[in-house]
Structure 1
Amino acid sequence: MDIKQLKYFYVIAEEGQITSAAKRLHISQPPLSYQLKNLEEELGVKLVERGSRNIKLTDAGLILYKRAEQILSLTKSTVDELKDFKEGTHGTLSIGTVSSSGASLLDSRLSIFHDKYPFINFEIYEGNTFKLLEDLHKGAIEIAVVRTPFNNSGVNSILLPKETMVAAMIKNLDWTDSKVIDITDLKDKPLIFYRRFERLIFKACEDSNFEPTVFCKNDDARTSLLWANAGLGIAIVPKSSIKLIGSSDIIFKEIDNEELSTQIAIIWSKTGYLSSAGKNFLALFSNA
């Protein structure tokens, strides 16, 4: 017994006639009668009582009719569910993100994606860029949200607009009323920054003929901001990172230096698996 036979029997039972059932199924009457006979022989029970015009279900036929209704309904639901999965409307999307990109991920685009695909669930993995690249190549995540610079070998990427860096400090360490400062204003200041920005920051300082005073290097933009909020030094972080620690006493000053900038990058493996949900998620950024 297969799904096709069940469907034929179910329609026959609903129509009460072989002729009308054949019309509904868009097949001729003899093959339909043959399928019914084969089904009865396979199951070893009589399913219908044949009359001159109509048929009547036997007790065995009534049991099969009820089961067929359940099975066909479940089959349709399964096909619809798999179709939704294929089209990226259902399922779970695994995304890795560095802490300094979390605020950018939770912008209006994610709300738009959720409104369009309300049945997509998320698994978010946080880590540094090196860990996320490793997870991406292993297939543990489908997509990663990182910051430049990074090793882009083996990955595709969508780069979001460039973002300036800001100096974050408490009021006691502030030395000017200006909201924009020059990189040279940070000379001899105790600096706190995410280790991955070290080369970028050192180059910007060296181009302005001074060596930065490093108070703390770390692996998380939130750590930089928390240390700055404690009054331990001045943190250099991407501008969007301001949202990471919420309410605080920190003052932010934009650093006027073209070289001291970074970008959010949405990356995925060139050879790894990418689900339809993942493709729909990427489309959200590629069309931005």
Structure 2
Amino acid sequence: MLSLDVRPPSRLNETSGQSRWRPEGTYFEAQDQLSSRKQTAIAASKQALQRERRRNNQRRYRHKQIASTTNLEIETDHLRDEINQLKRHRSDIAASIPTKENVWYFVVEYFRLFRYGLRNVVRTPSSSTQNTQCNDQLSCVREAMLPDVLFNAEQGVDALIKHWMCVSLRFEDVQVELEEIKKGAADSLLATSTTSITIQERTLRSVFPHLCIDMDDSPLAKILVGQRIQMRGWTCFEWDPTFGRVTCITNVADLLTPLLKLVGNLESVSRIFDGALTSPSFQWKTTR
């Protein structure tokens, strides 16, 4: 008859001296460690992939920046070449235009030069830079006119300069605005402008001296001082196509209308111009 050994497994292990039984916890720990290593490897792989993507993005961005800079430099060079070509083209056109047409350019340049009178020369005589710039501009005007050019009732370029010197010295804040240029009879142009000036005490002394006998008791002087007026003006430029120069400049301005608005009646306006050194059409009178 057979006999069975029914001792517990632990005792079997103890008896045989061999370890045949392994707890289940050891298996799961190994699985956890394996899973952790896999996750770490996956995370490291993702980080490496992200770094590589960032490097690629940075490389692409740098390439785009370099390409953009290169394109801008190329476009700038092209634009510079076009500008130079246009300048040369403009010079060629200007040189090929008949002298007769340059009177338009002269009229625009004339009003640009005298837009603020001769303020630079008059107000800052010690500024050599401003004087040089203004003298250069006056030289351009002189070159475009005949030496015996007629200006209103006088002759010579100096008559024109004298007019603007008087305006700039005797009034404050001179400003001339060119409004319109029209072709006149024969070889002439007619320019319409507005001249704004401010009347100061020195204006009364140098232009309306008869109002300065007793300024405290002169109602007209009190009305005029500090007033800023606007005069509508017309200037006719006559051009000699043979010499390509200006031969005559006639300039008139309506000084009567703004003064009439200030004083309100013609009798007072008559008193203002009676003894004044300028006329209602803003023509300077010769002083002796």
Q: TM-score range by the shorter chain?
A: under 0.3
Between structures 1 and 2, the one with greater helix share: 2
Between structures 1 and 2, the one with greater strand share: 1
TM-score in terms of structure 2 length: 0.25
Structure number with the bigger relative contact order (C-alpha 8 A, sep ≥ 6) is 1
TM-score in terms of structure 1 length: 0.25
